[in-house]
Amino acid sequence: MPIGPPKPFHFLASIQEVVDGPALAEKARRAESLGYHALVVPDHLIEQLSPVVAMTWIAQATERLRVAAFVFNNDLRHPAVLAQDLASLDVLSGGRLDVAMGAGWNRPEYDAIGLPFDRTPVRQDRLVEAIAILKGAFGASPFSFGGEHYTITDYDGQPKPVQKPHPPFLIGGGGRRTLELAGRQAQIVGLAPRIANERADPTSLTVPATLEKLDWVRAAAGDRFADLELNVYPSTTDVSVTDHALAEARDLAARLAGRTTVDVSAEDLFESPHIFIGSLGELEAKFVRQREELGISSIMVGELGPLDSLVERLAGT
């Protein structure tokens, strides 16, 4: 598959535990010193810091590090309210914000707060409308929007972000419709496996499935595909730095076989862009290979620690 010239590696780390302000600032400065591109915060109603608040603290503690959620659940906030929060953060950080959005997927969180968990197409429709509203609010003049889920009338979002015409958007997903949206509207496309619900498909972790997703993105993006940044993250299991990678991949394949009726091989998992198991040398070779063969240059590695030395060596190259 023709990919074009390789883009520099951008590594993202995540902050998931609840820590106090000085500890979060220390983690942020450490990430910056190691060459991480961004420190990101999940968006779940679990034991974690609020993403907008944590992102603001991270930006205040650093000078170059970018900030983002990974990723905002669109259903938890009205897009016009989120636009004001994010534009304010872009102003306060001097233009270091990425806007990362998803349609929401974790039903127990919806049930816990009495929020209807609509069918996937409905949540995807809301995300499409929300992206339009965010971009409208970031724009230079008042705008109106009439959709099935949101109505905006002659609204001039304030403040305006520093980055023009708007901060980069990361849109992530594993299904065709969301990835086509990302191809049309995002600057960063998050490639995700489809393993989080009753229709879990472990084969979506594999390289052939990733190639299919890239075909969807390419068709939707058209001429802008070459400018897109492609992102992956570890899924199904934590990052594991080990000299026994294939044995761990066999154990993971066995665990997945007990969850679904579809099997994947240990070799498929070892090669998967979403499985980070191996020695530092094996993982470095894997990241370089998947950039060459798949065009993936943005990698969220999870929490700081296991891959710091690899990130320090590869970041920006």
> CA angle at residue 17 from 12 to 18, to 5 degrees?
125
- pLDDT at residue 199 tops 90: no
Which CB contacts under 8 angstroms, 24+ apart, belong to 120-124? Answer: 120/175, 121/177, 123/74, 123/75, 124/175, 124/177, 124/178, 124/181
In a domain, 4, yes or no: no
Cis amide bond preceding 262, omega within 30: no
What Rg value do the Cα atoms of the chain yield, rounded? 19
Over residues 285-290, the mean pLDDT reads: 97
In this prediction, residue 194 carries a pLDDT of 81
The pTM of this model reads 0.94
Task: Return mean pLDDT, the chain.
Answer: 94
**75-84, 162-171, 247-256: the lowest-pLDDT one:** 247-256
Under DSSP, is residue 156 helix (H, G, I), strand (E, B) or coil? coil
In this prediction, residue 221 carries a pLDDT of 97
- pLDDT at residue 202 tops 90: no
| Full domain range(s) for residue 116 | 10-314
Q: Which letter does DSSP use for residue 159 in this model?
A: S
In a domain, 54, yes or no: yes
Instruction: Provide the CATH number for the domain around residue 244.
Output: 3.20.20.30
- pLDDT at residue 116 tops 60: yes
Q: Which of 199, 310, 192, 200 is nearest to 255 (CA)?
A: 200
Instruction: Give the model confidence (pLDDT) of 156-198 as tens digits.
Output: 999 999 999 999 999 998 989 999 999 999 999 999 998 765 5
- pLDDT at residue 262 tops 80: no
Q: How many domains does the chain have?
A: 1
Please give the share of the chain, as a percent, with pLDDT higher than 70: 96
In a domain, 31, yes or no: yes
Q: Which of 73, 18, 77 is nearest to 44 (CA)?
A: 73
Pairing of strands 143-146, 151-155: antiparallel
Instruction: Give the model confidence (pLDDT) of 19-29 as tens digits.
Output: 999 999 999 99
**What is the rounded distance in angstroms from the CA atom of residue 37 to the CA atom of residue 53?**
19
Report how far apart, in Å, the C-alpha atoms of 253 and of each of 14, 198, 210, 234, 283 are. Answer: 26, 18, 18, 15, 19
Instruction: Give the model confidence (pLDDT) of 264-284 as tens digits.
Output: 899 999 999 999 999 999 999
Banded model confidence at residue 83, pLDDT cuts 50, 70, 90 = very high
The size of the chain, in residues, is 317
